[in-house]
Every structure is written in C-alpha cells, then in structure tokens.
Amino acid sequence: MTAVRFAKYHGTGNDFVMVEDLDDHLDLTAGLVAALCDRRRGIGADGLIRIVRAEGADFFMDYRNADGDLAEMCGNGIRCLAKLVYERGLTRATTIDVATRAGVKHLEMAVSDGEVLTVTVDMGPPVLERAAIPMTGPERERFVGQPLDVGGETFTATAVSMGNPHCVIFLDTPDRLAAMDVPTVGAAIEHLPQFPNRTNVEFVVVDAEGRIRVRVWERGSGLTLACGTGACAALVACVLAGKTDRRAELRFPGGDLDLTWRESDDHVLMTGPAVRVFEGELDPGWVAAAAHGAAAAGVRR
C-alpha cells in the first residue's frame, strides 16, 4: 500500500481530516476513518472528508463522522473543502457546486491574494415534517416548540433537517447554557427512539445583543466546537419561535458564523471561515493495520 497524503483543516473549531481522492480509488472502511479521527492514536478530528470528482457538480464531498459512519452533510466541512480545492489549484473558480448525500450545494468564496478568507454556502431550505427529518409521529406534522422529555427533565424543542437531523433545545439564559451537561443530555437525545436515524442536538439561547449562542452534540462525533448544519437548524428554530430575525450571528465555542434564512426562496445561507492547519503523510503500515481495526501508531507530519 502506498503512502496516503492528508490535510487537517477546521471551520470554527470543527476539525476534519481531508483526503484528496479525485479519481475515487481509496476504500475507506469505517474502522480506518475512526482510527484516523482518534485524537490519541490517529490524527484527531470530528470527521473525515474525501474529495472526489463528480458528475453534475465540481466535486463530491464524501463525509464520514468520527465513528466512521456515513453522514449526509457537514456545513463547516464543506467550507474547508472549498478552501482546499481552490488553494491547491484544483479549481480556479470562486463559485463551485459540491455534491453531497444531501444534494448539491452552491458555494461562493471570498478570495484575496490567492487565499480563501470566507465561504458562503447555500444550504438549501430547512425541512420540518417529521417523516423527512426523520422523526416518529404523524408524517406531515411538525415538531416545533414542543415539549421533549429527557432524563426526567422537560425541554422545549424543535426538530429540523438540513439534510441531516437536528433537535434544537431552547434554554433561558447564557448561564444555563454554560452549565448544561451537553455530553450527557446530548447523547440521551441523540438516541431517543423518536429519532430512528439518531439526531444532532443544539442547545441554544438568544443573548441580550440578539446573537444566538449554541453548544452542540453531534451524532457520531460527540461534543464539538461548532456545527454548520446545526447553526442553520438553530437559526430556523429561533425564527419560528420569534426569538430572532431571519439574519443573525451564531456564536459557538469555536467561533462565529453569519446566517440568513431568505424569505424569498426559503434557503438558508451560511458564511464563515475555513483554516488549513497542516498536511502530512500516513504510514502505509499504520493504514493497513487501522483498516482492519488493529491498534497502530505512525502518523508522519
């Protein structure tokens, strides 16, 4: 097995292993992805993105969660993909279409002196019907501003799909948000039987300045510093609850994102940065062992 090149990027603290595989040669097993994302024995990341050429789009984003499971979409990760393909010269266009498991997304890059500073992603319209999220219950009914019982406590919640499922939990104050046991409560909500494909979970509060503050538990990745699709879900839920306007700044522990939910076409637009951290080469022996689930070490940076 030949050595595999990779890059490490992050978007507002949501970090990814990026693998360029334009001709679709690599076979990434769930075990290998989990090993690469392991923060002690691998590179360490919230997920992995494999970049492939695509029919009907400029590129395909093959996104996997940190546990190796396939995922539909990643808002922070797709901005990292845009930065990588432009700065590596894989495209000279500053507007590109990227195919994902949640459909084709249109991206516009703000570029200065050859560097991608921010990326705006048209994340498409939110989906609120239970069947499409998916969430159990009457198929065409919405779960908006409804009580959700978790571990003996009742929260007010809204379920939204942005190509992947989200459950947005409303909290009263920033102090309550800071004190929330996100790993415990988030994991419990992720695995509720109401969400047959599990769910991402956002804990939100609108502060005195009108910003939406968010902490997030991601399905298959756990506690992360930010989530792009989660930011979109949080904005939609807050607008539906009358807590904010259709344009808002969302503040995550990992950084800020600017979002707009357009009334004209129902699409959510997300703007934020992407950062290249480092590149490296995986030891072929480590890759072979990790692909078969064996404990191994040997990442060369």
Both tokens of 194, joined, read 């109401």
Cα 153 versus chain centre, distance: 27
Both tokens of 42, joined, read 């691998």
From first CA to last CA, the distance across the chain in angstroms is 18
Using an 8 Å Cβ cutoff, are 77 and 228 in contact? yes
Catalytic position from the list 80, 227, 232, 238 = 227
State yes or no: is 167 an active-site residue: no
Q: What is the dihedral of CA 90, 94, 95, 96, to 10 degrees?
A: 10
Helix (H) or strand (E) holding 239: helix 228-240
Catalytic position from the list 37, 74, 167, 232 = 74
SS3 219: coil
Among left, alpha and beta (phi > 0; psi -120 to 50; other), residue 220 is: left
> Which residues belong to the active site?
74, 227
